[in-house]
Structure 1
Amino acid sequence: MLDPTGKINQIDRFDYCRSYVLPDSVETNIPRDRSQLGSYGAHEYARGLLVETAQQLGARPDQLHYTDDESTCAERWDICRDPDGCPAGPITLSVVALQLAVPLDTIRVTVMWFRSLDDGGRHEGWRLSLDGWPVPEQDRTYPPSPRATGALVARQHHAAAEARWRGATR
C-alpha cells in the first residue's frame, strides 16, 4: 500500500539492487546505464522511473530528460508559499520528464523533487504531473520508489482515460 501521508520514504533496499538500462531507441540526456563508476543515483532513479512506468502502462519509452538546478523561493513561487519574505537559502530542484507511447496516445510524465538544506525541511517535497496537469493528491515529502511511481502514473492515466471515455459516451 502506498503511504497516504506522503511522509514515509518509500525507496527501500531493493530499489538500490535494481539496475535499469535504457533501450537505444530512447532519446535521453543521461547515460543509458550505470556502467560508469561514480554515476549519479538521481540518474538511476530517472532511468528506473521510465522503465517501471513503461512496464506498468505497457508503453514504449520514447524520451527521458533529467535536469537539476538551484533556485530561490522568489524564482520558484510554485514551491514556496511566501516567496517574497522567505529566508530560505538556495533550493535544489531536480526534474525528470518522460515521454511514453501507448496505443493511440502519448503520455508525458514530470516528476519534480526539491530540497533546501538550511531551513529544517520546510522546503522539501516531491510532485507528480501527468500530461502537464499536476496530480496534487500525490504531493509528498519523500519520493516513492520508481516502481510505486509507475503504478501511480498508470492509475492516474487509466482514471483519466476512463473519465474521457465516459464523457464521450454521454
Structure 2
Amino acid sequence: MSSLPSHNKDPSRIRKQLSDSCPASSTATTKSLRHERLSRLGSSGSSDVSNDTSTNHAESYFLRRENRLSARKKAEEEIANNDYKKMYEKALATNQRLKSRLETSKQELTMIQDQLERAQGGQNECGANVLEAEKKIKAELKTENQRLKDENGALIRVITKLSK
C-alpha cells in the first residue's frame, strides 16, 4: 500500500494510513487533513475553524441520527396505527355479527313465546273441555254410586227378612 492519499478512500482511513506509515510526520499529516477539511467546507483560517468543522461534523452526525430515529418512530407509529385500525375494524365486524345474532335470537324468542301462549290458551280450552268431561263423569259416577247403595240396602233388607 502506498502512503499517498487517494480521493476514493475514506478520510479516516487516509488519516490512519498516513499516521501508521510515518509516525514522525503525524503533525504534518494532521495539518494537511485539516486543510483538506477546510477546503471542502470552503473556509480557510485558524484552528478555531477546525474546531467548528469538527463540531459541525458532530452536529450533522447527531442530526442524521435524530432523523433516523424519528423516521423509525414514525414507521412504528404507522404500524401501530394500522394495527389499531385493523383491530377496530375487526371488533366492529364482530359487533355487527353479534348484533344480528341477537336480533335473530330476539325474533325466535318472540315466536316461541307466541307459540307458548297459543299452546297455553289451547290447554285452557282443552282444560275447560276436560273439566266439563270430568264433571259429567263425576255426576254419572255419583248416580251410579247412589244406585248401588240403594240396591245394597234393598238386598240387606231381603236377606234380613229371609234370615228371620
Identify the TM-score tier after normalising by the shorter chain.
under 0.3
**Structure in which a larger fraction of residues adopt strand:** 1
Indicate the structure (1 or 2) with the bigger Cα radius of gyration. Answer: 2
TM-score between the two structures when normalised by the length of structure 1: 0.24
TM-score between the two structures when normalised by the length of structure 2: 0.24
**Structure in which a larger fraction of residues adopt helix:** 2
